[in-house]
Amino acid sequence: MLRPLLTLALAAVSLASAVSGPSESRVPRAQEADAVIRAVCSGKVDLGRLSGCKQMVYGGRASESIGNAKFNGVLSAVLEGAFTAPGQREMLATFCPETEGCPGETVLLRQVRGQWQPVSLVPNFLPFQCLTYPRKNGTQAAVCLGDSGRRDAIGSALEIASWTGGKLKVETVALFPYLSYANPKSEQCRGRWDYQPHAWSDRDRNADRVPDLSIIATLDIYKGGPELCSPAPPERLSVGGGRRDLTFVWTGETLRPTGTTAATLEKYAGGR
């Protein structure tokens, strides 16, 4: 199913459409949010700047906001799956400060005897636009497309979070940096282009009954020269480019780009 991508602004986290994959990130329901917040704020594990938080109450009603001396924000998105072991009911819950973007925190929770319990922080991972994909060991990976500003060049990144033996691995499969963050000597800068992902599909491409991934992106080519490849470029004027489909096959552990997509990613890699 084809779905539009949303921005990572706090007001645009929801992904409402049904998908063929097992689960997708979404805005939590009110009762669910209360249970998650109670678990996080009363948990006995170290959750960094979320530790010791309290649920905010407005007009006598509990809200989706939390706060303490180090963090004030809102429960913005959840993604359910069996991430650390087969058959577990787990959740990735992301809290965002009420500022532009989301320099927030993600918590892994597990349901024990019908109650959510926090397990650990998930550092440097914000699962907003995500699907769960089946792994060969019976667990699920979180495959997410979103802002890459926390670790890589500013733009979009396709990332996979998975756990093996209780250890977290976050793999960056593809980067789509904006032209203003490209290396002036790169092919991306010489061509004055960048890609803007705007939709994705999890259609099975190789008939193995497992969803693969296609990213639909707009190719923008800009008028100008090397001065466009700087964090503070002059105003950029797009002179066209068109649509591009970037395709990946799920191997059971990671997403492998097809030939044309792999060549495109190589061009981007030179821009880092």
Per the structure, the complete domain to which residue 193 belongs is given by 178-271
User: Does any domain span residue 224?
Assistant: yes
pLDDT at position 254 is: 96
The residue written with tokens 């756990």 in the block is: 163
User: Does any domain span residue 229?
Assistant: yes
Number of domains in the chain: 1
Can you read off the two tokens belonging to residue 83? 């991430």
pLDDT at position 150 is: 54
Q: How confident is the model at residue 153 (pLDDT cuts 50, 70, 90)?
A: low
Q: Encode pLDDT of 68-83 as tens digits.
A: 999 999 999 999 999 9
User: Does any domain span residue 259?
Assistant: yes
pLDDT at position 270 is: 59
pTM for the model stands at: 0.84
On the question of pLDDT at 91 being above 70, the answer is yes
DSSP for residue 202: -
User: Does any domain span residue 62?
Assistant: no
User: Does any domain span residue 30?
Assistant: no
pLDDT at position 230 is: 85
Find the angle CA(40)-CA(36)-CA(12) to the nearest 5 degrees. 110
On the question of pLDDT at 233 being above 90, the answer is no
User: Does any domain span residue 13?
Assistant: no
User: Does any domain span residue 216?
Assistant: yes
Mean pLDDT, the chain, as a whole number? 85
pLDDT at position 186 is: 85
Q: How confident is the model at residue 3 (pLDDT cuts 50, 70, 90)?
A: low
The residue written with tokens 């992902």 in the block is: 197
> What gap in Å lies between CA 267 and CA 247, rounded to an integer?
16
Q: Encode pLDDT of 14-29 as tens digits.
A: 333 333 345 889 999 8
Q: Higher pLDDT residue, 3 or 87?
A: 87
Q: How confident is the model at residue 46 (pLDDT cuts 50, 70, 90)?
A: very high
Burial of 85 (0-12, 13-18, 19+ CB in 10 A): middle
pLDDT at position 30 is: 87
Q: How confident is the model at residue 13 (pLDDT cuts 50, 70, 90)?
A: very low
pLDDT at position 18 is: 30
pLDDT at position 240 is: 84
User: Does any domain span residue 219?
Assistant: yes
CB 107 within 8 A of CB 81: no
pLDDT at position 267 is: 81
pLDDT at position 7 is: 37
Length of the chain: 272
116-134 average pLDDT score: 91
pLDDT at position 15 is: 30
Q: Higher pLDDT residue, 100 or 182?
A: 182
89-105 average pLDDT score: 88
> What gap in Å lies between CA 256 and CA 243, rounded to an integer?
21
214-236 average pLDDT score: 86
